[in-house]
């Protein structure tokens, strides 16, 4: 009697109109608002600088909240996967370019950070058919340091608090570069992984490599027979042509002078 397959549940469809995507759209809308406030302040008017800082912090907060909502209530969509990193890079890039344009941050710092940010985004799309590069702890630390450094530059701090800005930006730059190299290594391992599963294991791990599902041979096709030269402890007394180390018997020779029995 064969077992009838049970009913298969239909895949859950996530609506495009959800809270996580709405926050991402809000962040995209706040980018030009933030740009206008910084230009209006000319980085000299305290009131406009405070307004620009508030707009930047609200937009940055939506980056943390929308990701948490998407994971908590399983609201991950294709739109969110594409729009979320674009909104992040647009906000950070706009802030850095404005700070450099008003002689707050050196241009080379802005260029290095932007090359890393957009380069990592390009890497994610380059390996998307092989898998997803998850955000690491270093990447989250990088985002936090960048947000803190930019906020410190935007807020009209007086002496001596304003001196902390370059130190915060330097720390953000260092973590940005280091995590950038880490993402490059992850992308390279992800691309070559399916072709050589051994490289997926740690060098110190001596377990057997994991074979991808499409390369595994079903047990029905492989069969259950063992080769003739592989004997376990319970197979010491098999047929005469299959002797283990404990079953070596000398052949019995017939006695001389005795003929065959009739």
Domains of the chain: residue spans and CATH: 19-194 (1.20.120.1760)
Report d(CA 75, CA 211) in Å as an integer: 32
φ/ψ of 33, rounded to 5, equals -65, -45
pLDDT at 130: 83
Distances (CA, A) of 18 to 21, 24, 37, 68: 6, 10, 29, 13
Report d(CA 68, CA 61) in Å as an integer: 11
Under-50 pLDDT residues of the chain: 1, 195-216, 219-220, 222-228, 230-246, 255-262
pLDDT at 81: 81
User: What separation, in Å, do the N-terminal and C-terminal C-alpha atoms of the chain show?
Assistant: 56
pTM assigned to the model? 0.68
Indicate the SS3 state at residue 126: helix
Number of H-type helices and E-type strands within the chain: 7, 0
Report d(CA 128, CA 49) in Å as an integer: 40
pLDDT at 199: 39
């Amino acid at each position: 009697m064969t077992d009838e397959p049970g009913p298969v549940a239909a895949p859950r469809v996530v609506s495009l109109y959800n809270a996580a995507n709405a926050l991402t759209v809000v962040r995209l809308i706040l980018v030009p608002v933030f740009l206008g406030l910084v230009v209006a302040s000319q980085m000299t008017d305290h009131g406009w600088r405070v307004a620009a800082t508030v707009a930047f912090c609200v937009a940055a907060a939506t980056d943390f909240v929308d990701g948490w909502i998407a994971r908590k209530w399983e609201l991950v969509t294709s739109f969110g996967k594409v729009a979320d990193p674009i909104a992040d890079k647009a906000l950070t890039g706009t802030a850095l370019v404005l700070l450099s344009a008003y002689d707050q941050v050196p241009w080379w710092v802005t260029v290095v950070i932007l090359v890393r940010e957009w380069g990592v985004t390009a890497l994610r799309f380059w390996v998307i058919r092989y898998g997803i590069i998850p955000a690491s702890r270093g990447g989250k630390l990088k985002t936090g340091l960048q947000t803190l450094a930019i906020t410190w530059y935007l807020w009209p701090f007086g002496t001596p608090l304003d001196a902390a800005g370059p130190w915060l930006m330097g720390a953000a730059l260092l973590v940005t570069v280091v995590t950038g190299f880490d993402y490059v290594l992850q992308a390279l391992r992800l691309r070559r992984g399916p072709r050589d599963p051994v490289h997926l294991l740690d060098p110190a791990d001596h377990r057997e490599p994991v074979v991808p599902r499409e390369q595994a041979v079903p047990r029905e096709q492989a069969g259950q027979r063992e080769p003739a030269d592989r004997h376990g402890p319970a197979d010491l007394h098999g047929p005469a042509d299959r002797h283990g180390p404990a079953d070596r018997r000398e052949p019995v020779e017939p006695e001389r002078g005795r003929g065959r029995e009739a």
